[in-house]
Amino acid sequence: MYTLNCKGRLLIIDKPIIMGILNATPDSFYAHSRHPFVDSAVEEAKKMVADGATIIDIGGQSTNPSSTLQTAETELERVIPIITQIRNTLPNVFISIDTFYASVAKAAIEAGADMVNDVSGGQLDSNMFKTVAALQVPYICMHMQGTPQTMQQFTQYNHLITELTDYFIKTTTEAQKAGIVDVIIDPGIGFSKTIQQNFSLIKQLSAFKILQMPILLGISRKSFLYKTLQLPNANHALNATSAMHMLGLLNGANILRVHDVAAAKECITLFEAYSAA
């Protein structure tokens, strides 16, 4: 069991939970996740909570390799009105801000978010760790090499699991030295990884239990799934996502970051029934 302090409110993870993806962007890779307008974003958040989401992850920047880098100012314009309204509408839901900018993290937490989800693990903004520490919220540390635009150039590893474990030990130690108390780790499926490496990470996910931190798995509708199945795009990848979610749960995932909350909830319910048998 893990207990995370979110500005005085406790998030207890004693069984797998769901983080719903809400993109305040016009260009995220899965079109149905795009909610750049406040009203539609709030309605989607309400649906996610009704379907079983514990956390809503709100981001204002696409991180797929073909995306264009957005400024912190653009992110702020996109996410702050949505965070504010969701906080007012759904006071009990936990909100995560998906950003690698410290200034966006700070403004989002002040607007009502509860934790920071950083795809760069603090590598793209040197102020991130001290900012999150001052905010006293949990920090999601993902593994990525390079930037979202260059990451697929950096997929060379001598020993994938060992190198990611070393990365997490180093990075989370730096975060904790800066004053961050609660850290969640995310192996970064699809970020600086080949298709084969993505499957290897899911297969060996339990190796990261040695770090004694919650493990977040973000595989929802990603290209390694539909490419493996020779399907045209993310629209066809729900069944594949559910199949791999179950394998991730069996290998120790604590948080599923998903587009399709109801389907993920079914996976968790079946996993719990299987585990209790």
What's the one-letter identity of residue 183? V
pLDDT score of 46 more than 80 = yes
**Token digits of residue 10:** 């406790």
For position 206, what pLDDT does the model report? Answer: 98
Q: How confident is the model at residue 33 (pLDDT cuts 50, 70, 90)?
A: low
Q: How confident is the model at residue 28 (pLDDT cuts 50, 70, 90)?
A: low
User: Cα Rg for the chain, rounded, in angstroms?
Assistant: 17
Of 39 and 174, more confident: 174
Length of the chain: 277
pLDDT score of 230 more than 80 = yes
How do residues 130-160 score in pLDDT, each as one tens digit? 999 999 999 999 998 877 777 777 789 999 9
pLDDT score of 34 more than 70 = no
Q: Please state, for a pLDDT cut of 70, what percent of the chain lies above it.
A: 97
| Pairing state between β 183-186 and 255-258 | unpaired
How do residues 48-101 score in pLDDT, each as one tens digit? 999 999 999 999 988 777 677 889 999 999 999 999 999 999 999 999 999 999
For position 3, what pLDDT does the model report? Answer: 97
Helix H or strand E encompassing 19: strand 17-23
* Distance of alpha carbon 100 from the chain centroid: 12
Q: Which residues are catalytic?
A: 222, 257
For position 237, what pLDDT does the model report? Answer: 94
For position 91, what pLDDT does the model report? Answer: 96
Contact 133, 179 (CB under 8 A): yes
For position 30, what pLDDT does the model report? Answer: 60
Of 150 and 15, more confident: 15
The mean pLDDT value of the chain amounts to 94
Nearest to 7 by CA among 120, 146, 112, 84: 112
CATH of the domain at 109: 3.20.20.20
User: Average pLDDT for residues 95-122, to the nearest whole number?
Assistant: 97
Q: How confident is the model at residue 125 (pLDDT cuts 50, 70, 90)?
A: very high
Using CA atoms, how far apart are residues 216 and 221, in angstroms rounded to an integer?
16
For position 29, what pLDDT does the model report? Answer: 63
Helices (H), 52-184: 72-89, 102-111, 128-135, 160-178
Tell me the DSSP string of 130-160: HHHHHHT--EEEE--SS-TTTGGG----SSH
Using CA atoms, how far apart are residues 74 and 79, in angstroms rounded to an integer?
9
Residue whose structure tokens are 């207890």: 12
Q: Please state, for a pLDDT cut of 90, what percent of the chain lies above it.
A: 84
Strand partners, 257: 19
What is the domain count for the chain? 1
Burial class (CB in 10 A: 0-12, 13-18, 19+), 146: middle
- List CB contacts of 222: < 8 A, sequence separation 6 or more: 189, 190, 198, 234, 237
In angstroms, the Cα distances linking 67 to 60, 70, 95, 155, 246 are 12, 9, 24, 19, 29
Contact 266, 241 (CB under 8 A): no
Helix H or strand E encompassing 255: strand 255-258
For position 168, what pLDDT does the model report? Answer: 97
Residue whose structure tokens are 């903004």: 125
Its domain, for residue 172, covers 2-276
For position 275, what pLDDT does the model report? Answer: 97
Helix H or strand E encompassing 55: strand 55-59
